[in-house]
Amino acid sequence: MYIAGIDIGGTNIKLGIFDDDLACVHTALTKSVRGDSAALARQIQHLIEQSPVKPDVIGAGVPGAVYRPSGKVNSGNLRWAGVYFGRTLSEVTGLKVWLDNDAQCALMAETLEGGACYGLQSAVYLTLGTGVGGALLINGRPYRGHDNAGAELGHFITHSDGLKCGCGLNGCFEMYASAGALSRMAGGVRARQALDRAAQGDQAMLSAVDRYGRELAIGVCSLYMMFRPQAIVLGGGVSAGGDILLDVILRHVPNCYNLDADVIRRVLRLANARNDAGMRGAAVLAKLNLN
Ligand SMILES: [Zn+2]
């Protein structure tokens, strides 16, 4: 039995084929088509056709809200409103499809042995990618909200009257903490490149990453005050920045009577699977539903 774990991002689609033990035997990547969900399903079918190992089932994570029980999906980053993507992907591929929010998938991967949330009762998971995704672990279980669309942590507001977000609100955390936000602060340099150049000592990039880190610190501290979790885990493309990212966030943590840099240092960590957590988590989703 082989499982396709697919992380559908606002920029890239990542496919991993996993065996029964969740060992990854093949990966593939392509740019995401936005707007047309049927075209995106055909992109996935193309990746599967090119794979040397054929999957028996699909788990997929999308950057948006997946409502239950309807299966309806809304995604600002993919420009989907009310699409039934699980059904479409199943029709196009001829395979059973399990679909969920990408951050929820990634959190699931990180709760397994070796993951950043293994054995924990409470955690906040953030994916820092094209947008900012979120997932919550409360009392050892994922918290999904009454209709499965909960924990959209990219859309709490950190700047009143701030930049207009794709969700329709102004000043969402996502507008200041996504890869696109870092790129904007770095004068158009891509997020990963900005982090690499900052790590090499480029002053302009260090200054951009510092501004970005301040925005992340605002969000991370707010989430800590709300949930007081055992861990706050950073995944998604920006998490590839590694220690430089953690250091810059800690530098901007304010001191107050129940919060300081030491408190945040104890809980803040990178996703063990880094940017692959979404793909692996999607495969975990399918595997758990099969058992
Ligand atoms: Zn928003």
pTM of the model: 0.91
Quick check: helix, strand or coil at residue 280? helix
Residue given tokens 């890869």 in the structure block: 179
Q: What domains can be seen in the chain, in order of their start residue? A: 3-106+276-290 (3.30.420.40), 119-271 (3.30.420.40)
Q: Do residues 187 and 248 lie in contact, with contact meaning Cβ atoms separated by under 8 Å?
A: no
What does the DSSP assignment read for 66-94?
A: E-TTT--EEETTTTEEEE-HHHHHHHHH-
- 180 sits in the region (left: phi over 0; alpha: psi -120 to 50; else beta) called alpha
Q: Phi and psi for 121 in degrees, rounded to 5?
A: -95, -25
Residue linked to tokens 């499965």 = 148
Q: What is the 197 CA–ligand 1 centroid distance (Å)? A: 29
CB contact at 8 A, 139 and 111: no
pLDDT of residue 273: 83
Could you check whether the bond before residue 69 is cis, i.e. omega within 30 degrees of 0? yes
| Mean pLDDT (10-residue bins), the chain, 291 residues | 95 95 95 96 98 97 94 94 97 97 94 94 96 96 93 96 93 97 98 95 97 97 96 93 93 88 96 86 90 65
CA 129 to the chain's CA centroid: 6
Distance between Cα 62 and ligand 1 center (Å): 16
Helix (H), strand (E) at residue 64: none
**Cα 109 to ligand 1 centroid, rounded to whole Å:** 25
In tens, the pLDDT along 183-200 reads: 999 999 999 999 999 999
129 contacts: CB under 8 Å, gap ≥ 6: 9, 10, 11, 63, 178, 179, 236, 237, 238, 275
pLDDT digits (tens, 9 = 90+) for 191-228: 999 999 999 999 999 999 999 999 999 999 999 999 99
Distance CA 29, CA 279 (A): 11
CA dist 289 and 291 (Å) reads 6
Ligand 1 being an ion, which residues bring their Cβ within 5 A of it? Answer: 155, 165, 167, 169, 172
Looking at residue 257, its pLDDT comes to 80
Q: What is the Å distance from ligand 1's center to 154 Cα?
A: 6
Rounded to 5 degrees, φ, ψ at 68 are -120, 140
Q: What is d(CA 198, CA 242) in angstroms, rounded to the nearest whole number?
A: 12
Check: CB of residue 104 under 8 Å from CB of residue 144: yes
What residues are paired with 66 via a beta bridge? 73
SS3 content of the chain, % helix, strand, coil (to 5): 40, 25, 35
Q: How many angstroms does the Cα of residue 168 sit away from the middle of ligand 1? A: 6
